[in-house]
A and B are shown apart, each in its own frame.
Chain A
Amino acid sequence: MTMMDTDEGKTVMCLLTDPEGTHLGSAMYIPQKAGPLQLTQLVNRFLDNEEMLPYSFYVSDEELLVPVGTYLEKNKVSVEKVLTIVYQQQAVFRIRPVNRCSQTIAGHAEAVLCVSFSPDGKQLASGSGDTTVRLWDLYTETPLFTCKGHKNWVLTVAWSPDGKHLVSGSKSGEICCWNPKKGELEGSPLTGHKKWITGISWEPVHLSSPCRRFVTSSKDGDARIWDITLKKSIICLSGHTLAVTCVKWGGDGIIYTGSQDCTIKMWETTQGKLIRELKGHGHWINSLALSTEYVLRTGAFDHTGRQYPPNEEKQKALERYNKTKGDSPERLVSGSDDFTMFLWEPSVSKQPKKRLTGHQQLVNHVYFSPDGKWIASASFDKSVRLWNGITGQFVTVFRGHVGPVYQVSWSADSRLLLSGSKDSTLKIWEIRTKKLKQDLPGHADEVFAVDWSPDGEKVVSGGKDRVLKLWKG
């Protein structure tokens, strides 16, 4: 008790800064008893926030979970120096972690290869090796439509950011557009690619509303921009010498393509010209991720689930995009077969910002968190690694899987990370504690695709055992 009394008077000089480095006010004396809660109140006051927004605090890259005094004692930091505390806003809403399988839906006749929630989180589409795309009803957790039209395995599905169109690409190189409300094929399959489709990415809503254009990448080395209303390929982006493994349409209107020829090319979208080439990797590039990817995918929809009329959509999407992007330029991370990843700032420089090493096997999937603060990478070395999304600094490694980890997915509030692996389990990892939150076994065979719905309610996973599993909190 006497300890508490002597501590009451003790204060420490602190300087609150935001992640980009701007100071909040000047250095001030803060009592050592102050913990994260008190600091949150302080920051809210200084920023004149109308509602209490949650913040997390970091001192020299370590999260501050205990009162400042305890931290000082533990780390033997001198009281005389000014302590820099970085504050970061966390998402206002909190997603409940899923922990049970609410439904196992059979329906596909072959392995499920890709799953995707619509941007508003109300619809679910899955593509499989039995050449069909199936739409599922989330309220009753039963099949809704079976869309036939492809001739070979359906490798990717992608929803348009306004949720009105669904496109899928197959192993025979054709792309089918579906009407998600009726489950019908719109027009005939789009041909143009000569080999299988490896990825599809839509143009962001804030650049063009309603959504018309999307880009697809294929093994034949080209990426093509298509227009869904004209039903044909507008521009063909050729230049890669080997298969293009992934393609992303950035928020600034640049298309990024990663390929097996170890390069990433940036294209401008009006004429399809090559802007820049990012070299550095030593082997195939398996996956690309943009810091604003989540926001681009969900468009104008956010966790509140409000629908907007078409003219407002563009504005709202632009707002959300600017908020997530902040003042810094868009960042790109690429994961490769050479066991490393590169963090790029493509609009700034051709040289990578940082090389992220640490994995002991090829990196299969990289994904930025929805707020752009973290990068998660899934690798065949059975681990998932977490990196700082702004500096690229390594944070922690999540071990627990016993087989190669295939895909990762973030919850909408960036607090939880989901990973699906060859060992048939899914695991949920908590970012705050950096530990395993929940283990989701139940699949009978490898898990190929996972997705977390944008409203955070459900998780879907599909794999080799041909069933789709829906998990709920």
Chain B
Amino acid sequence: MPQGDYIDLHRKRNGYRLDHFERKRKKEARESLGIKGKMIAKKNYAEKALMKKTLKMHEESSSRRKADENVQEGAVPAYLLDREDTTRAKVCLFFLFNNTIKQKRKEKAGKWEVPLPKVRPVAEDEMFRVIRSGKRKTKQWKRMVTKATFVGPAFTRKPPKYERFIRPSGLRFTKAHVTHPELKCTFCLEIIGIKKNPNGPMYTSLGVMTRGTIIEVNVSELGLVTPAGKVVWGKYAQVTNNPENDGCINAVLLV
């Protein structure tokens, strides 16, 4: 017999406990007490309010009132009204430029206000893998980079016999996914160059991109213009992920 039926069978044969109904009543009453009771009451109230609203909405009203149209923000001219240009939201805040002299001096000195000021330092043995070469594979002067790199478009390898640092083409990237911090929209932009790698100048010169590296990206597709009227085509961004693990470079634009 199924286990629930044993209870019913017992009840049929022997009836209820003497205090069964009293206990049942008291237990149910206790449910509306305490914190649990308050939660239940709140839920019930919310449901009641929602039901009342929907009923009122569907009710026929005797008074005919013209719906007040609220004046919305973000006024656009008539020719843009029917268009949902998603790119509009993206570019609207780009014009808040702050090219003061102080900022320019800071840029020159290489001091940045960056989203990731401190990053975990990457050790050399993590960054490079030793490549054995030579007839007996005893020479160990070659190193292969294990992190994502950027080499420029005019890159030509050194003669293989003499190159100390190997940058595998599988780890070379040309584009980065750059997010604007305020607008929260991401663009896939070309990398122009590596500005600074926090782990050292050697990595900067090699073009290694690890988390926290400052890169320069080509923003010409965004159509930004400085207040003086010049077209902006390069901006700095900081890498926010570990590209060697993800296979892509995510960066945040430095405005």
Contact = CB atoms under 8 A, between A and B. Distances in A.
Interface of A: 110-111, 113-114, 128-131, 151-153, 155-156, 171-172, 196-199, 219, 243, 245, 260, 286-287, 364-365, 382, 402-403, 406, 422-425, 439-442, 444-446, 448-449, 464-465
Given A151-B69, A402-B220, A424-B225, A445 B95 contact: yes
A382 B220 CA distance: 13
A357 to B, nearest CB: 21
Contacts of A425: 225, 229
12 contacts: A113-B76, A151-B71, A156-B78, A219-B82, A260-B82, A402-B225, A406-B79, A422-B223, A424-B95, A440-B229, A442-B227, A444-B227
B81 interface: yes
Contact of A129 (B75, B91, B95): B75
Contacts of B92: 445-446, 464
Contacts of B77: 113-114, 155, 406, 448-449
Given A172-B69, A424-B95, A364 B79 contact: yes
A113 B76 CA distance: 6
Q: Is the interface of B mostly helix, strand, loop or mixed?
A: loop
A16 B53 CA distance: 81
Contacts of A440: 229
Contacts of A422: 88, 91, 223
Contacts of A196: 78, 81
Contact of A153 (B71, B91, B228): B71
A33 B83 CA distance: 56
Nearest to A191: B66
Interface string B210-235: 00000000001001111111110000
A153 B79 contact: no
A198 B81 CA distance: 9
Interface in B80-102: 81-82, 88, 91-92, 95-96
Contacts of B231: 402
A402 B71 CA distance: 31
Given A402-B220, A441-B226, 9 more contacts: A111-B75, A113-B75, A114-B78, A128-B75, A197-B78, A423-B223, A424-B95, A441-B228, A444-B227
Contacts of B225: 402-403, 423-425, 441
A402 B227 contact: no
Given A152-B71, A424-B95, A441 B227 contact: yes
A403 B82 contact: no
Contact of B78 (A130, A198, A403, A446): A198
A440 B73 CA distance: 28
Nearest to B97: A444
Contacts of A111: 74-76
Nearest to A150: B71
Interface centre among A113, A199, A219, A243 (most CB of B within 10 A): A113
Contacts of B76: 111, 113, 129, 448
Contacts of A406: 77, 79
A153 B220 CA distance: 33
A238 to B, nearest CB: 19
Contacts of A464: 92
B79 A286 contact: yes
Contacts of B74: 111, 129
A87 to B, nearest CB: 38
A101 to B, nearest CB: 11
A110 B76 CA distance: 10
Contacts of A156: 78
Given A196-B81, A243-B82, A260-B82, A442 B229 contact: yes
A398 to B, nearest CB: 16
B95 to A, nearest CB: 5
Nearest to A449: B77
A382 to B, nearest CB: 8
Contacts of A423: 223-225
Contacts of A382: 223
A197 B220 CA distance: 36
A152 B70 CA distance: 8
Nearest to B70: A152
A275 B226 CA distance: 50
B75 A439 contact: no
Nearest to A364: B79
Given A151-B69, A260-B82, A425-B229, A444 B95 contact: yes
Most chain A CB inside 10 Å of its own CB: which residue of B74, B225, B226? B225
Nearest to B231: A402
A219 B82 CA distance: 9
A440 B92 CA distance: 19
B228 A152 contact: no
A290 B226 CA distance: 36
Nearest to A463: B77
A104 to B, nearest CB: 12
B75 A365 contact: no
Nearest to B233: A402
A286 B229 CA distance: 28
A4 to B, nearest CB: 45
Contacts of A219: 81-82
